[in-house]
């Protein structure tokens, strides 16, 4: 089951904005050619992570294609950060750093 990525962002009962982060490139990363009408981020998430709920990681790793799946052009090469445990550790570390910055805590 996917972790709740908003857990550490709740402050006074409200979810603060989720800071955008990038993921380091790894030799273990996977790549897929996007096929409009066939490829979906939840399918890729399930294929590589065994859970459909990590599609947001794949979208964050491919920010150049926009923030919505339908904006991805046919034939685009999608990077899937891998393995998931390393990616989640990196994400959590970056979120913790963001949470400890003055600019973030004022939101």
* Structural element, H or E, at residue 15: strand 14-15
Q: Measured between alpha carbons, how far is 104 from 19 in angstroms, rounded to an integer? A: 9
pLDDT tens for the chain, 107 residues: list them. 666 666 666 667 776 666 778 999 999 999 999 999 999 999 999 999 999 999 999 999 999 998 889 999 999 999 999 999 999 999 989 888 877 774 555 54
Beta bridge mates, 31: 79
Q: Is 21 exposed, middle or buried (0-12, 13-18, 19+ CB in 10 A)?
A: middle
Say whether pTM exceeds 0.75.
Answer: yes
């Amino acid at each position: 089951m996917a972790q709740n990525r908003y857990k550490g962002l709740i402050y006074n009962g409200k979810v603060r904005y989720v800071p955008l982060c990038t993921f380091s490139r790894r030799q273990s990363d996977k790549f897929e050619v996007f096929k409009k009408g066939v490829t979906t981020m939840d399918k890729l998430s399930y294929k590589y992570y065994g859970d459909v709920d990590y599609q947001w990681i794949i979208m964050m790793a491919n920010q150049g294609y926009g923030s919505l799946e339908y904006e991805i052009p046919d034939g685009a090469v999608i990077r899937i950060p891998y393995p998931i445990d390393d990616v989640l550790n990196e994400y959590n570390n970056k979120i913790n750093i963001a949470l400890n910055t003055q600019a973030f805590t004022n939101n």
